Amino acid sequence: MGATPFALAYGMEAIIPTEIGMPTAKTVVQDQRDNDEELIRQLDWADEKQGDATIQIASYHQRAIAQYNKKA
């Protein structure tokens, strides 16, 4: 007994590659670049959604004012 499910299924123990087990300078730099790019994409998306919301709010206010003035 004492065998892992992987060893039972494949007849050998799993070996974790160094790139996965221990980050290297190359993977750390690439991960940081990927994180920076994703952060920029997310900030751009948030700015776009904020602009869309501002337009929607202005449109709502105009409709509310028009409706109010129509009743008066």
pLDDT 10s digits, 3-17: 888 888 888 888 776
Residue 14 lies inside a defined structural domain of this protein: no
pLDDT at 66: 95
Q: Tell me: the pLDDT tens digits for 22-65?
A: 777 777 788 888 999 999 999 999 999 999 999 999 999 999 99
Angstrom distance (rounded) from CA 6 to CA 44: 43
Say if 53 falls within a structural domain: yes
Residue at 17 is within a domain: no
Look at 26 and 66; give whichever has higher pLDDT.
66
Q: In whole angstroms, what is the distance from residue 52 CA to residue 59 CA? A: 11
**Does residue 5 fall inside a structural domain?**
no
Is 3 part of any domain? no
Per the domain annotation, does 39 fall within a domain?
Answer: yes
Q: Quick check: is 35 in a domain? A: yes
Supply the range of the domain harboring residue 64. Answer: 24-71
User: Domain count of the chain?
Assistant: 1
The answer to whether 13 touches 7, Cβ cutoff 8 Å, is yes
For 12-50, letters b (16+ CB in 10 Å) and e give eeeeeeeeeeeeeeeeeeeeeeeeeeeeeeeeeeeeeee
